[in-house]
């Protein structure tokens, strides 16, 4: 049979090769001189467990690069600890790590391409592979790389036999001093130690636009120097980073997006959480940060006149008032709270420009039947947000409360802008139904309210569901809302 594929142009074939794994790509290089030339035209180099070892989990399990690990997790029903077995698929480092490094190194040393755009390594590596990793980085720099991701946590497959993460790879920005490259615009580093090069001029990083550190040990002075010397930097992420003594001052004339979560100082085997204190970014439009206690808001030095979107955690309604005071220009808020146990009262500070609000509400399953839960505090936020158009509320890990209360109306109010409401994690609790009844009554421009049992935690992409909804939750809500006195029933969609 004729080789129809070989009749295609070099341009089309090189594009096809960008879709092949590294393992399959190397096989094509043995077909002919033409194919050997073509695979070197690939400009995106992505090395992870699938690209290097196999195309599926089943194949990786058969070759023992992945293994099923049984773990016990503690849960506390009735305050009794019970070990719950769970199966996770993990990387078998004993047979995978050396082979992974060998194959990637072989590819890099034989790669004939003169230009690459993207270099990515996603595998659990550490200081033991330092010399080889340094050579990979130099290889990428010499070919004018624009985007580098060194993801040495190796997600989503955590090594099962890992004893310590202290032996991190030592990343040295001085590697970029070998050239005056200005092509690098994106860098993401995980699980490493970042050195502060002495007398470093940052010229090779002058076009850097995106920078992310996760589980990285950093020097706060280095971050401050980097910010002042990277005039194009638009996005910075500091996730679970260890600093030497304090949180760096975030001062930038270009930064538009900032994410700071879980940063800390380690001392004598203890960890001390750090909060962002000084933020001077005139162009900043979005901010994601950890919990800020009400007292710490008073000492914040924030200069962010363009801030439109914020994501944060609060534990008390009073703190929401404080955020309205500090950030009156907000248009989008994503709020996580562990408190539904609130006294319904008027919010004193309005969110005059807020258009979209996402709430994640965690409930305490042990005290659910012993306290007065009330979803009507969310209506309180509606009253304080006259321009709000979309409201999403997710009751995380929601359970059914047997202690059902009598429904009540709130003080009469109206909202003329709210168009869409999404309620996730619902199981038909009285406070969920109560909220729906009241919002249907007072949100005059509402087009749709969607109620579902699905929720997810944090930034996870995995949706969870409480089966209670499918058994009786929807029927319970229909029963309560079927009366003629319920306004706007036709706008309700039950999933």
Residue 292: pLDDT above 70? no
22 Cβ neighbours under 8 A, 6+ residues apart: 45, 46, 47, 51, 52, 103, 104, 107
Residue 381: pLDDT above 90? no
Nearest to 394 by CA among 417, 423, 371: 423
Measured between alpha carbons, how far is 325 from 302 in angstroms, rounded to an integer?
A: 12
Highest mean pLDDT: which of 99-103, 413-417, 452-456?
A: 99-103
Nearest to 160 by CA among 104, 214, 101, 95: 95
Highest mean pLDDT: which of 27-31, 93-97, 312-316, 317-321?
A: 93-97
- pLDDT at residue 336, as a whole number: 86
Averaged pLDDT of the chain: 81
Highest mean pLDDT: which of 261-265, 350-354, 397-401?
A: 261-265
Average pLDDT over residues 16-24: 61
Average pLDDT over residues 336-365: 71
Higher pLDDT, 488 or 85: 488
Average pLDDT over residues 67-90: 55
429 is a domain residue = yes
Residue 466: pLDDT above 70? yes
Number of domains making up the chain: 2
- pLDDT at residue 162, as a whole number: 59
405 is a domain residue = yes
- pLDDT interval class at 201 (50, 70, 90): confident
289 is a domain residue = no
- pLDDT at residue 364, as a whole number: 59
Burial 123-146 (b: 16+ CB within 10 A, else e): bbbbeebbeebeebbebbbebebb
Residue 68: pLDDT above 80? yes
- pLDDT at residue 343, as a whole number: 43
**Burial class of 63 by CB neighbour count within 10 A (0 to 12, 13 to 18, 19+):** middle
- pLDDT interval class at 73 (50, 70, 90): very low
Nearest to 221 by CA among 242, 249, 241: 249
- pLDDT at residue 22, as a whole number: 63
- pLDDT at residue 273, as a whole number: 86
Residue 31: pLDDT above 60? no
- pLDDT interval class at 11 (50, 70, 90): low
Nearest to 392 by CA among 476, 452, 329: 452
Higher pLDDT, 395 or 259: 259
Higher pLDDT, 124 or 313: 124
Average pLDDT over residues 380-393: 90
- pLDDT interval class at 399 (50, 70, 90): confident
- pLDDT at residue 288, as a whole number: 93
Helix (H), strand (E) at residue 72:
strand 66-75
pLDDT tens digits for 410-437? Answer: 666 788 999 999 999 888 888 888 888 8
E strand intervals along 320-458 = 332-337, 356-362, 390-396, 420-424, 448-451, 454-455
Higher pLDDT, 405 or 145: 145
Question: Where in the sequence is the domain holding 395, given as residue range(s)?
Answer: 308-495
The two beta strands, 264-267 and 270-273, are: antiparallel
Helix (H), strand (E) at residue 181:
none
pLDDT tens digits for 202-222? Answer: 888 889 999 999 999 999 999
Report the predicted TM-score, pTM, of the whole model to 2 decimal places.
Answer: 0.83
237 Cβ neighbours under 8 A, 6+ residues apart: 211, 212, 213, 214, 258, 259, 260
Residue 177: pLDDT above 80? no
385 is a domain residue = yes
- pLDDT interval class at 47 (50, 70, 90): very high
Residue 286: pLDDT above 90? yes
- Cα dihedral 404/426/446/360 (nearest 10): 110
- pLDDT interval class at 484 (50, 70, 90): low
Highest mean pLDDT: which of 6-10, 37-41, 368-372, 392-396?
A: 392-396
Question: 448 with 491: CB under 8 angstroms?
Answer: yes
448 is a domain residue = yes
pLDDT tens digits for 227-269? Answer: 999 999 999 999 999 999 999 999 999 999 999 999 999 877 7
473 is a domain residue = yes
295 is a domain residue = no
65 is a domain residue = no
């Amino acid at each position: 049979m004729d080789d129809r594929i070989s009749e295609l142009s070099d341009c089309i074939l090189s594009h096809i090769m960008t879709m092949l794994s590294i393992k399959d790509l190397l096989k094509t290089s043995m077909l002919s001189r033409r194919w050997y030339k073509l695979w070197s035209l690939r400009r995106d180099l992505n090395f992870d467990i699938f690209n290097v070892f196999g195309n599926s989990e089943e194949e990786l399990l058969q070759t023992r690069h992945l293994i099923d690990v049984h773990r016990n997790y503690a849960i506390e029903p009735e305050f009794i600890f019970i070990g719950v077995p769970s199966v996770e698929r993990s990387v078998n480092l004993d047979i995978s790590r050396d082979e992974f490094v060998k194959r990637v190194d072989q590819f890099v040393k034989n790669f004939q391409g003169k230009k690459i755009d993207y270099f990515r390594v996603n595998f659990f590596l550490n200081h033991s592979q330092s010399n080889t990793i340094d050579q990979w980085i130099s290889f990428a720099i010499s070919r004018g790389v624009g985007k580098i991701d060194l993801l040495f946590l190796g997600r989503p497959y955590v090594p099962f036999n890992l004893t310590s993460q202290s032996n991190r790879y030592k990343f040295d920005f001085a590697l970029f001093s070998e050239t005056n490259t200005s092509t690098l615009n994106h860098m993401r580093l995980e699980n490493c130690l970042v050195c502060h090069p002495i007398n470093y001029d940052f010229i090779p990083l002058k076009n850097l636009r995106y920078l992310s550190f996760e589980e990285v040990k950093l020097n706060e002075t280095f971050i401050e120097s980097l910010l002042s010397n990277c005039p194009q930097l638009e996005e910075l992420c500091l996730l679970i980073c260890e600093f030497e003594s304090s949180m760096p001052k975030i001062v930038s004339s270009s930064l538009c997006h900032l994410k700071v979560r879980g940063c800390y100082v380690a001392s004598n085997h203890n960890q001390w959480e750090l909060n962002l204190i000084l933020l001077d970014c005139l162009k900043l439009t979005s901010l994601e940060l950890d919990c800020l206690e009400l007292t710490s808001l008073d000492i914040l030095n924030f200069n962010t006149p363009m801030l439109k979107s914020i994501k944060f955690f609060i534990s008390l309604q009073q703190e929401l008032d404080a955020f309205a005071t500090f950030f009156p220009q907000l248009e989008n808020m994503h709020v996580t709270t562990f408190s539904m146990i609130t006294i319904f009262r008027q919010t004193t500070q309005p969110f005059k420009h807020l258009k979209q609000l996402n709430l994640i509400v965690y409930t305490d399953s042990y005290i659910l039947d012993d306290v007065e839960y009330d979803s009507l505090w969310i209506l309180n936020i509606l009253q304080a947000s006259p321009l709000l158009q979309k409201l999403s509320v997710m009751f995380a890990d929601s359970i059914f409360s047997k202690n059902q209360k009598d429904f009540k109306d709130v003080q009469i109010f109206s909202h003329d802008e709210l168009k869409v409401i999404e309620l996730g994690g619902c199981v038909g609790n009285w406070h969920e139904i109560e909220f729906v009844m009241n919002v249907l009554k007072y949100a005059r421009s509402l087009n749709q309210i969607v109620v579902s049992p699905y929720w997810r935690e944090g930034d996870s992409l995995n949706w969870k569901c409480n089966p209670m909804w499918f058994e009786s939750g929807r029927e319970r809500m229909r029963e309560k809302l079927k009366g003629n006195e319920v306004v706007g029933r036709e706008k309700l969609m039950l999933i």
